[in-house]
Every structure is written in C-alpha cells, then in structure tokens.
Amino acid sequence: MSSGESSARELVVYVVVFAIFYALFQWVPSLWAEVLTAWSSSAAMNALGMSSSYGIHRGLVSLSLASGVRPVHVYIVRECSAIHVLGVVLGLVVPLRAPWTRKAVGAALGSALIYALNVARVVATVTLTGYDVPPFTWLVSSPTVETYHYPISFLFGVVGVVATVLAMDRLALPELGNLLARLPSTLAAALSRRNKH
C-alpha cells in the first residue's frame, strides 16, 4: 500500500469518526449547556455593571438584560449553547494519531475556548441590543436581537473556530495542524487516483 493510499484511508477514517461525534452531539441533551450559557452570560454582564438575570421555566432557559436603553429578553436554545461545536472539537481530536494525554489537553483547551467565545458572543449580542452603542446605532435606530445575532454569530463562528483550532494546534496537538495542512493534497491525490481508474 502506498503512502497516498494510506493517507486517503486515514482521511476516510478521520471523516467517519468526525461525523459520528458530530451526530452524537446533535442528540446529547442540551438543557445543562443552555443553563450554563445563560448563567455565565448573566454573570459576565453583571460583572460588567449591567443588570442581568436568567431563569428556567417549563424547560426553556431565558436570559434578560434589564439595564440599558431597552430591556432584552432572549431564550437560550440548543444552538445558543454551542454544544454542537463541542462535538466538532471532539470529532477533530479523537481520531488523531496522537497520545491520549495530548488529545485530552487539546479537547479541554478547545472546549474551554469555545465556551468562552460563546459566552462573549451571547453577551455582545444582548448588550448591543440593549444599549445604543455607536457606530451601530448610527445605522440602526431600533435594534432587535436579530439585528446583531447573525453578524456576531458569523464573526465569532468563523474567527472563533480558526482561533480555537490554531490554539489547539500550537499549544497541545500539532498533529491537528499537520492533518489539516495535508488535507488538500490528500484529497487531490485520492481524486486523481480515482479518475485514472
């Protein structure tokens, strides 16, 4: 077996394990993660001098901001908890060929960064909605949560995932960066071999 075939087979195994972890985290109960997100976001806003609270009513987790120009009340749903991104982190780490101790450190680091970035994302969205913050208020006079939710989520999603993967690679798992760097050439070689047959 050539190294190209080995790399292609390794990539297939990696993708299958990644997909299994991602799918499993779609089914993991998320109420605990929603509560943790709301509690942490409320605590962060209160620490910054705002008036915030969170609650659970009939299985729905809410987060409120009472200070500011306008009150804000949002529900923290599964997607707001970033639990599915934890599945992505584990899916990236577990199939790597690396010692389990470094995998554990990488997974813990990635999870902590995703958690912190997610709380910052929720706080930024709620705060910008509740307060008139220039230059945003020059563009939008009566913002809603949706005004900020999608652009902030996109920004944190792209930049946050890149920063998290880079931190995991540099601080704990250089195998992750090596695999991701090899990915384009491995795919190209596999497709080239497939087209020749």
What is the chain's length?
197
Q: What is the pLDDT of residue 1?
A: 43
* 167 Cβ neighbours under 8 A, 6+ residues apart: 109, 110, 113
pLDDT, tens only, 33-84: 999 999 999 999 999 999 999 999 999 999 999 998 999 999 999 999 999 8
Taking alpha carbons only, the member of 114, 143, 141, 112 closest to residue 126 is 143
Q: What is the pLDDT of residue 197?
A: 63
Q: What is the pLDDT of residue 55?
A: 97
Query: pLDDT higher for 23 or 123?
Result: 123
Q: What is the pLDDT of residue 5?
A: 53
CA–CA dist 25, 32 (Å, integer): 13
Mean pLDDT over each residue of the chain, to the nearest integer? 89
Full-model pTM? 0.86
Per the CB < 8 A criterion, the answer to whether 165 and 92 are in contact is yes
Does 2 have pLDDT greater than 60? no
Does 185 have pLDDT greater than 90? no
**Average of per-residue pLDDT across 19-23:** 89
pLDDT, tens only, 135-167: 777 788 788 888 889 999 999 989 998 999 999
| Helices 100-130, 145-171: inter-axial angle, 10-degree rounding | 160
- Annotated domain spans of the chain: 3-196
3-state secondary structure of 101: helix
The Cα diameter of the chain in Å comes to 66
The DSSP output letter for 98 is: S
Taking alpha carbons only, the member of 57, 56, 61 closest to residue 83 is 61
